[in-house]
Amino acid sequence: MKQIIISLFAAAVLLTAGCTTVSDTQDADGKNKGNSAVEGKVQEKKTVYVANVVRETSFFNDGYIKSYTSYSYDEDMNIVREDMFDSFDQILESAVYEYSESGIESRLLYNNRGALQSSKKTIRTAEGQPLSESSYDAEGTLQTVSSYEYDVDGKKIRWTVADGVGIILSETLYLYDGGLPVSIELNDAGGKMQELFSLEYKAGLLVRKNHLDADGKIISGIQYEYDGRNLISEKYLRPNGSTHRTVLFTNDERGNPVKEEFFDGNGDLKDWIERKYEYTTEEILVWE
Amino acid sequence: MRREMMRKIILKAIIMVLLVSASVTPVFGNELSAVWSRIYNTTEQLGAKLVVMQNIVDLHNRDMEPVITDALKEIIYTRDESLSFSERQEHNDLIRIMVMELGNLKAVDAAPDIYEVVKITEDDFLRSVAIVGLGTAGARDYADEIAEFLRKLNLEIIIIENNEKRESLVNACILALERLKHPDGFEPVFYASVGRYSRDSVAKADRALKNMLEDPTDLLIKIVKDDTPFSIRLAALEVENRSAASAERKTELANTAIEVSLIYNAVTPSEREYQTRTKVRACEMIRDLGVANQAAVQWLDLMLNSSENVNEIVICLQALGTYSSDEAVAVLSKYLDFHNERRALGILYKDERAIRECINALGSSGNQNAKPSLRMVEFSNWSNQTIRMAKNAAKNL
């Protein structure tokens, strides 16, 4: 799932950053020509690079490998396996993905002895966004169901979690301003707000996220910094503004993080993660 | 029965109150962490807890450490002994994912609770996960306990009949001790590397020994000096040789190994074989490292003059060939003089390898004191090739 998100994120970043463009607006039959019905914009085909994580290695601060995860994909670049190993190449756990013809994606999680631990079934929209995620225990008993609602522009506006018999346990509401999420409200089963995340932007980039309690008191905050449009640091702040933790990102030439370094509040390196990607190209239609 | 149930409920309530009052308000970087932790805290069913915890763990959010630690505390300190087999399995699975994640998050503050899992669980696989968790969390305070556990496994004070379980525990101890890099862990890992474990465990132990300490010389000297079989002493030399210790320190251990090999008598043929191999390996190290530690000369002298094995003698002479000191040259000269005299008296030598090696050693010493013995070779009825070697060696001094 994480790499799917990364892939989508990479695609989005590349789109906004302006990658190789193949335009076919000049086709004689006009089939792919721009649709001027959308605010005078034209639809164009663009080639985007999609980053698929193939290996993620976690290091201790002395450079000793803690664990690594290898990701396998089918020929359509759908993820089929995640295998996590320790530094002795011994398997720690595996996730196997299965895709049904009806479009249900299953993720089965096994422990190091091959015993099923839990599973998750995801149903997606035609655009690939999750509509529902059902989590099952090892015996196959339904335990939780996450349901998502989107507005007409495809923006997530509501996420609820219900238990196995359908009782709503939590509700999360996403509020937007100018197309960007500015507030995330966490409500209890009775719809009463319990916590809130407020998000601030500069030039369309998230620069600050505050976590507040029901009384509006700041519990924590995160400050984001960018190089161009690429995220390069996340600073986790305590309510008094002091730094609790910092994450520094090193990105590859396509803007995807290849290294994430974690520092404590004193600025001491605690550990880091390295990622390797396999890039594929994909043609998508965008409004220009 | 009813009283017992009441006691459990009260105990659970007390622990929950303590956990709530002791826990720090968790801070979450995103709504996912906040939602799942909120749901976990209101979930009663074990199966549901497991699934919700899996969702928390999947986030790999470092801010979840207090949430997972508190959840682990609640589970382990309110253990219900009346759980069925499948409930117990679920219970252990829940603990397993929490302990693994706490290790991944390097939650050293959770170490006492992870160690509690090591102590109380009846599942050796879960115990293994908890031991690894202590290692990855960097819980150095528990290095001694893990070392002691491995020591007991090595000595079969703790006997685990099931091979898979035993190997899982041994590997977990090795991995944790490698990570904790504590001197207390070195000796049990060393004995695991020479123990009766699988090739896989031995390979793990070998790697751990290289990574645990930069300079393990003092610990290996102790092992070599202990009343241990020569096979162990030989293994100690190999571990030292592969370590990052300085050439001087490696030579120190090689010197100790020769000393011990000359003092202790091997009784069985197999032990005698290992005794010879220990001496030969120690001499090879002295020769290859080229440190010329003077303290070793007296033991090389004793080895040279007490051995009847030509391979031992040749390698000992090669080791002495790395020295240029008067003491070493005196040892070599005394040896050559003795054999010059014997040969001059007409005693035949089927094999002149040792004599030629001695000539080489004296030649490479660059010490003028070597000349008289080398010159005597010409007058001692040796083969022409040996005499020629001696003349060249003397000329080059």
Question: Does the pLDDT at position B392 exceed 50?
Answer: yes
CB–CB of B27 and A58 under 8 A? no
Say how many C-beta atoms besides its own lie within 10 A of residue B177's C-beta: 29
Smallest CA–CA separation between A15 and chain B, in Å?
25
Is B88 an 8 Å CB contact of chain A?
no
Question: Does the pLDDT at position B9 exceed 60?
Answer: no
The model's confidence at residue B26, banded by pLDDT at 50, 70 and 90, is low
DSSP state of A142: E
Is A235 an 8 Å CB contact of chain B?
no
Query: What are the distances in angstroms from CA B393 to CA B175, B315, B359, B377, B378?
Result: 53, 19, 7, 11, 12
Residues 5-24 of A with CB under 8 A from B: none
Q: Are B383 and B389 in contact (CB under 8 A)?
A: no
B187 three-class SS = helix
Residue of B nearest to A171 (CA): B35
Q: Give the pLDDT confidence of B37-62 residue by residue, as tens digits.
A: 999 988 888 888 999 999 999 888 88
Question: Does the pLDDT at position A6 exceed 70?
Answer: no
For residue B138, what are the contacts with CB-CB under 8 A and spacing of at least 6?
A: B106, B108, B179, B180
User: Which two three-digit tokens encode residue B108?
Assistant: 């050293």
- Dihedrals φ, ψ of B116, to 5°? -60, -40
The model's confidence at residue B21, banded by pLDDT at 50, 70 and 90, is very low
Residue of A nearest to B204 (CA): A88
CA dist., res. A15 & res. A47, Å (int):
9
Between chain A and chain B, how many beta carbons pairs sit less than 8 Å apart?
Answer: 107
What's the angle, vertex CA B206, arms to CA B280 and CA A87, rounded to 5? Answer: 155
Provide the whole-model pTM.
0.81
Neighboring chain B residues of A111 at a CB cutoff of 8 Å: 93, 96
CB–CB of B52 and A144 under 8 A? yes
Q: Give the pLDDT confidence of B85-129 residue by residue, as tens digits.
A: 888 888 999 999 999 999 988 899 999 999 999 999 999 999 999
The kind and range of the H/E element at B139 are none
A103-117, A227-241, B7-21, range with the lowest pLDDT:
B7-21
Better pLDDT: A271 or A2: A271
Q: What is the CA radius of gyration of chain A?
A: 21
A84 three-class SS = strand
Query: What are the distances in angstroms from CA B112 to CA B76, B77, B138?
Result: 11, 12, 12
CB–CB of A118 and B54 under 8 A? yes
Taking residues A50-68, what's their average pLDDT?
Answer: 93
Q: Give the pLDDT confidence of A247-261 residue by residue, as tens digits.
A: 999 999 999 999 999
CA–centroid distance for B61 within its chain: 34
Question: Does the pLDDT at position B139 exceed 80?
Answer: yes
The model's confidence at residue B10, banded by pLDDT at 50, 70 and 90, is very low
Q: Helix (H) and strand (E) counts for chain A?
A: 1, 18
Of chain A, the percentage scoring pLDDT greater than 70 comes to: 85
CA dist., res. B210 & res. B201, Å (int):
14
Of B30, B93, B175, the CB nearest to A117: B93
Q: Give the pLDDT confidence of A141-191 residue by residue, as tens digits.
A: 999 999 999 999 999 999 999 999 999 999 999 999 999 999 999 998 888
Q: Are B296 and B251 in contact (CB under 8 A)?
A: yes
Q: Give the pLDDT confidence of B279-300 residue by residue, as tens digits.
A: 999 999 999 999 988 999 999 9
A86, β-bridge pairs: A67
Is B139 an 8 Å CB contact of chain A?
no
Neighboring chain A residues of B53 at a CB cutoff of 8 Å: none
Residues 26-65 of A with CB under 8 A from B: 58, 60, 64
Question: What confidence score (pLDDT) does residue B319 get?
Answer: 96
What long-range pairs does B201-208 form, CB within 8 A, spacing at least 24? B201/B167, B201/B170, B201/B171, B201/B174, B204/A88, B204/B171, B204/B174, B204/B175, B204/B178, B205/B174, B206/B239, B206/B242, B207/A88, B207/B178, B208/B174, B208/B175, B208/B177, B208/B178
Question: Does the pLDDT at position B383 exceed 60?
Answer: yes
Of A136, A139, A211, the CB nearest to B28: A211
B228 three-class SS = coil
Smallest CA–CA separation between A26 and chain B, in Å?
45
Q: Are B359 and B386 in contact (CB under 8 A)?
A: yes
Question: What confidence score (pLDDT) does residue B28 get?
Answer: 62
The model's confidence at residue A26, banded by pLDDT at 50, 70 and 90, is very low
Amino acid at A170: S
Of chain B, the percentage scoring pLDDT greater than 70 comes to: 93
Q: What is the DSSP string of A164-185?
A: TTS-EEEEEEEEEETTEEEEEE
Smallest CA–CA separation between B59 and chain A, in Å?
9
Neighboring chain A residues of B175 at a CB cutoff of 8 Å: 86-88
Is A268 an 8 Å CB contact of chain B?
no
- Dihedrals φ, ψ of A164, to 5°? -60, -25
Of A67, A143, A186, the CB nearest to B31: A186
What's the angle, vertex CA B293, arms to CA B290 and CA B297, rounded to 5? Answer: 110
CB–CB of A143 and B27 under 8 A? no
User: Which two three-digit tokens encode residue B23?
Assistant: 């826990």
Question: What confidence score (pLDDT) does residue B77 get?
Answer: 86
Of chain A, the percentage scoring pLDDT greater than 90 comes to: 68
CA dist., res. A200 & res. A181, Å (int):
9
Smallest CA–CA separation between B43 and chain A, in Å?
9
DSSP state of B181: T
Residues 159-188 of A with CB under 8 A from B: 159, 161, 163-164, 169-170, 172, 184, 186, 188
CA dist., res. A202 & res. A183, Å (int):
15
Q: What is the CA radius of gyration of chain B?
A: 31
Question: Does the pLDDT at position B334 exceed 90?
Answer: yes
Smallest CA–CA separation between A251 and chain B, in Å?
20
Is B39 an 8 Å CB contact of chain A?
yes
Q: Are A15 and A47 in contact (CB under 8 A)?
A: no
Smallest CA–CA separation between A280 and chain B, in Å?
26
What's the angle, vertex CA B61, arms to CA B59 and CA B63, rounded to 5? Answer: 145
Question: Does the pLDDT at position B66 exceed 80?
Answer: yes
For residue B235, what are the contacts with CB-CB under 8 A and spacing of at least 6?
A: B190, B193, B194
The domain ranges of chain B are 1-135, 139-209, 216-321, 324-397
Residues counted in chain B: 397
Of A86, A169, A271, the CB nearest to B175: A86
Is B84 an 8 Å CB contact of chain A?
no
Taking residues B23-45, what's their average pLDDT?
Answer: 78
Residues 90-109 of A with CB under 8 A from B: 90, 92-93, 109
Question: What confidence score (pLDDT) does residue B170 get?
Answer: 97
Neighboring chain A residues of B136 at a CB cutoff of 8 Å: 66
Taking residues B328-357, what's their average pLDDT?
Answer: 94
Neighboring chain B residues of A53 at a CB cutoff of 8 Å: none
Question: Does the pLDDT at position A28 exceed 80?
Answer: no
The model's confidence at residue B376, banded by pLDDT at 50, 70 and 90, is very high
On average, the pLDDT of chain B sits at 90
Neighboring chain B residues of A262 at a CB cutoff of 8 Å: 62
The model's confidence at residue A283, banded by pLDDT at 50, 70 and 90, is confident
A2-11, A56-65, B74-83, B144-153, range with the lowest pLDDT:
A2-11
What's the angle, vertex CA B66, arms to CA B60 and CA B68, rounded to 5? Answer: 60
For residue B130, what are the contacts with CB-CB under 8 A and spacing of at least 6?
A: B95, B99, B114, B115, B117, B118, B121
Residues 124-153 of A with CB under 8 A from B: 135-139, 141, 143-144
Is A218 an 8 Å CB contact of chain B?
no
DSSP state of B31: H
Give which of B379, B295, B366 is closest to B337, Cα–Cα.
Answer: B379
Going A114 to A120 to A121 to A124, the CA torsion angle's sign is negative
